[in-house]
Every structure is written in structure tokens, then in C-alpha cells.
Amino acid sequence: MKTQSQDFAELKVDGKVIRLPIVVGTEGERALDITGLRRQSGLVTLDPGFANTASCTSQITYVDGEHGILRYRGIPIEELVKKAMFVDVAYLLVHGQLPNASERRSFSEQLNLSSLLHEDMRHFFDHMPQGAHPMHILSTMINAMTAFYPNVDIKSMADNIDESCARAISIVRTMAAFAYKKSIGEPVVYPRHDLSYCANFLNMMFDSPVKPYRIEPEAVRMLNLLFIIHADHEQNCSTSTVRVVGSAQVNLYATISAGISALSGPLHGGANQAVMEMLRTIQADGDVMKFIRMAKDKDNPFRLMGFGHRVYKTYDPRAEIVRRECDAFLSKLHYRDPLLDVAREVEAAALKDEYFIERHLYPNVDFYTGIIYRAMGIPENMFTVMFALARLPGWVAHWREMIGDDTKLVRPRQIYTGCPLCGMDTDLSVNRTLVI
Ligand code: CMC
């Protein structure tokens, strides 16, 4: 809940004092409300990367980067991973509270009913080039849903919000598994109503006509946990993308497609794949300290992937959970991964290095997740897809909150730094005979 406190900040510009109201969030975070600033002073604010800008108010997720706190709708992430399933958390994010027994049943039913992909869309997969990244396939496919499903205008979607949300959350899982099956040349496996959300996904990924997949309860538990910790993270790059695109009153599927594209970048969700590539390179080289030096060298573009975060200036609470679970999970599966040893070495070296200490750079959520996915048999090019599946409820919740909030079209300003007014110094009419 946002409250307008009695406090104001005063800004003195050109001899004029401008009073800016201070807005206070539920947890006491304070913000200057600058909506009237330009009207009163002619000034805008400049904040590249929006590192110091709250783009909206939101009741969904609370992150405290200084103290390593993450809560969905007020509930600490540590509690949710112990007591809830991913589907409960999806419901919590989208609907604002955990489901009771009958809400849980009807949400699961809705997810099941929406899990089948329009059969004609299956042919799309056949025409994707071999080797296309599954994230790009996924964003293309979800965008195509706009053409395949009726009533996708924002009003119809908002009027049937439960159905729209359930379809988005459920169908992307089917698309992701189909994309994988196509990439390895195997027949797709259809979703089953008798399986839970995560078990269903693993079955669609790994079942085959010649070798039925035995669903491993430990893998299902771990996938639930990983999906829960990724389910939302307030105004991260992809969620902000969903809100920006959605603010133009674009339908849910198209906004999610845009969110998936944002997530695919190596500085965002793509980092989990990049971490594995980095760990392999370090393993092949054998000299961990060389890579620590490279990460610190300003003339070298190399960065420690899976390290650092825009908001967390302490250990990412999600990374804390994954780090703890990683060892236990691998030993339950009797799986030994030498890359885990490399990861531990890199972490230990970085955490005692002055460069990383001074800049508050700790492992983030992507540092250990890849090792767990690898143990589950998920291929590396699907890692970011896993992130996207998990983030779906977050995107849906933010889209829903945004359309309900009477949000303005997002349209930031800029400070123009190009040429001042000048005339055309070339007479283009001279070359009119050229075909251009
Ligand atoms: N390795 C080496 N130096 C780093 C790293 C890193 N991973 N991250 C930040 N720094 C340095 C950076 O060079 C800068 O140094 P200086 O002050 O001397 O110029 C300082 O730390 C601050 O970095 P920044 O780039 O200004 O910080 P940011 O908030 O813009 O960047 C980040 C956040 C996540 C993009 C960055 O830490 C990074 O590139 N990390 C590696 C990629 C990664 O793991 N991304 C996943 C993020 S978590 C999952 C998600 O939410 O998507």
C-alpha cells in the first residue's frame, strides 16, 4: 500500500523552491514523487538504466537488496519453498493470496484445460531452423498465440482474466517441451491431466516412445523449488518490458513474448547458460585466479557470470537457497559434477577478493542453478527457457496489476545530445537519377 506522507522534499532550481511529495511504501521505502516536476520547473530527471527510479507502485513482490530479503505478497521466499508448490505460488502472485482447497482444484483444472497447444501451431516447430535457440522459438510461438486464440484484445482478456492467465502459464510449458523435442528430432509428448505441473513438464521433456520416462520425485521437488524462487522479482528487465509493452494496451501473449526476448539476454536470464559456458572454460584452463583477474580488469570485457546484481548488494537469497540445495540434490541423484567444484572455487576466490567485496558482488540466482538443471538432464540451451517458465506467473501478475491500475502509457523522456540545429549541407537532388 502506497501512502502519501506529510513530508515533502524541497528542490531549489533557478531561485524557485519546488516541493516534491515523499511517497512511502509498506516496508518504509521512501520515494520522491516527481510527477509534477516538469510542470513546475521545466526539468526532467535523468536516470540511465532506471537504477534510481521506481517505475510504478506494486503489491506483488518485495525485495530488499541490502538485507537479502525476497517476499511474494508478504510471504518470505524461504517459507514458500518449504511449504508450497509452484502452482500455489503462481496463484498467490496472480490472485494475491494462496489458494484454498477448492481454488487450488479449480486453478489446476484450468491449467490442465489450457495445456494443449492448438494443433496447427505444432507445424510451426517443423519450420524453425535446426539449432535455433529455444528462447527465440518460445517468444515467436507465444506471439503467434495472438493469431490462434480468440478474444485476445485487452478487454476480453481482462474480462476473462483467470482463463487468460491460466492459458499463458500452462501453454508456455507445453511449447517449451515441444521446442526441445523438435530440437532433438523426437516426437512431441502431449501434456497429461494426471500429472502435476512440474512432473508434467519433465514427462513432456523426457518421455519417449522407446524409453518411457520414470518421473523422479526428487527432480519434481527440485523443479518446484527452482520455479518458486524464480517466479517473480519485481521490476527486473523482462517484467519491466512486460509492463512497458502492456502499457500500450497490448494483449497478454504479445507482452509475454516481449518479456521472453528481454529475458534471453546474457545480462538477465541468459546468465544461467553463460555461467555454465564460463565454468567449462575455467575448468579447461585450470587457473581460477586468471579469470578473477580478467573480471577485475577494466580493459577486459569479461565478467564473472552469475555474479553481481542490480538490487542485491548482499548474498542473493535465491542463490543462498540454490547453493544449499545443490549439494544435497546431486548426492541424492548420485551425480557428481566437476563444474560444481569449479563453481565453489570461483565463489571462494571472489568472496575474499577486495574488488568483489568493495562492489558488493555476490553469486546471484544464476550461479548454481545450471548445475542442478544439468543433473536433471536439462540441456544447456534450455536453461533460460526454464527461467522463462518459472517467471510466467510473475509476468502475468504484473500485467494484471498494471491493466487494473489505469496505468498511463509508458513513454520516458530523453535528453537530446545530438547536433544542434543545422541545415542540410548536401544537395540530394543532384543524385535523383540513382535508384535507392
Ligand atoms: N564481474 C565483474 N565485475 C562486475 C560484475 C561481474 N559479474 N558485475 C558488476 N561488476 C562491477 C562493474 O564492472 C562495476 O565496476 P566499477 O564500479 O569499477 O565500474 C561495478 O561492479 C558495478 O557494476 P554495474 O555493471 O554498474 O552494476 P549493474 O547493477 O548495472 O549490473 C549486472 C548488474 C547483473 C548486469 C552485473 O552485475 C553483471 O553483468 N553480472 C553478470 C551477469 C549476470 O550474472 N546476470 C544475472 C543477473 S541475476 C538474474 C536476473 O535477475 O536476471
pLDDT digits (tens, 9 = 90+) for 180-199: 998 888 999 999 999 999 99
Burial of 336 (0-12, 13-18, 19+ CB in 10 A): exposed
Across the range 269-289, mean pLDDT stands at 94
Burial of 298 (0-12, 13-18, 19+ CB in 10 A): exposed
Extract the C-alpha cell encoding 260: 521472453
Higher pLDDT, 103 or 165: 103
- Say how many Å lie between the CA of residue 402 and the centre of ligand 1: 28
| CB 361 near ligand 1, within 6 Å | yes
Q: What is the pLDDT of residue 6?
A: 73
> Does 429 score more than 80 pLDDT?
no
Helix %, strand %, coil % for the chain, to 5?
A: 55, 10, 40
- Which mutation among 50, 226, 267 tests ligand 1's pocket best, with the greatest number of atoms within 8 A of CB? 267
**What are the helix (H) ranges across 231-337?**
237-246, 252-263, 271-285, 288-296, 317-332
Tell me how far apart the alpha carbons of residues 361 and 355 are, in angstroms, rounded to a whole number: 8
The mean pLDDT of the chain is: 92
Q: Is 309 an annotated catalytic residue?
A: yes
pTM comes to 0.92
- Which mutation among 282, 299, 314, 359 tests ligand 1's pocket best, with the greatest number of atoms within 8 A of CB? 359
- Say how many Å lie between the CA of residue 307 and the centre of ligand 1: 7
Res. 23 pLDDT band, cuts 50 70 90: very high
Extract the C-alpha cell encoding 128: 524453425
Length of the chain: 436
Set 230, 309, 316, 398: catalytic member? 309
| CB 393 near ligand 1, within 6 Å | no
Res. 162 pLDDT band, cuts 50 70 90: confident
- Say how many Å lie between the CA of residue 22 and the centre of ligand 1: 30
Residue 190 backbone zone (phi > 0: left; psi -120 to 50: alpha; other: beta): beta
Extract the C-alpha cell encoding 269: 536470464
> Does 123 score more than 90 pLDDT?
no
| CB 259 near ligand 1, within 6 Å | no
Q: What is the pLDDT of residue 435?
A: 63
- Say how many Å lie between the CA of residue 309 and the centre of ligand 1: 6
- Which mutation among 364, 383, 386, 387 tests ligand 1's pocket best, with the greatest number of atoms within 8 A of CB? 364
Atom of ligand 1 at shortest range from CA of 308: 37
Q: Looking at the DSSP assignment, which residues form a beta bridge with residue 75? A: 72
> Does 49 score more than 90 pLDDT?
yes
The residue contributing the CA closest to ligand 1 atom 30 is 310
> Does 241 score more than 70 pLDDT?
yes
> Does 222 score more than 70 pLDDT?
yes
The H-or-E segment that residue 62 falls in is: strand 61-64
| pLDDT 10s digits, 281-336 | 999 999 999 999 999 999 999 999 999 999 999 999 999 999 999 989 999 988 89
Atom of ligand 1 at shortest range from CA of 236: 51
| CB 303 near ligand 1, within 6 Å | yes
Burial of 375 (0-12, 13-18, 19+ CB in 10 A): buried
Residue 83 carries which side chain, given as an amino acid letter? K
- 24: phi then psi, degrees, rounded to nearest 5: -120, 130
- Say how many Å lie between the CA of residue 201 and the centre of ligand 1: 32
- 194: phi then psi, degrees, rounded to nearest 5: -90, 0
Q: In what order do the strands lie in the sheet with 3-13?
A: 3-13, 16-24, 30-32
The residue contributing the CA closest to ligand 1 atom 36 is 308
- Say how many Å lie between the CA of residue 46 and the centre of ligand 1: 21
Q: What is the pLDDT of residue 433?
A: 65
**CA proximity to 395, closest of 231, 274, 262:** 231
Set 232, 316, 366, 398: catalytic member? 366
Residue 374 carries which side chain, given as an amino acid letter? R
**CA proximity to 228, closest of 374, 71, 42, 368:** 71
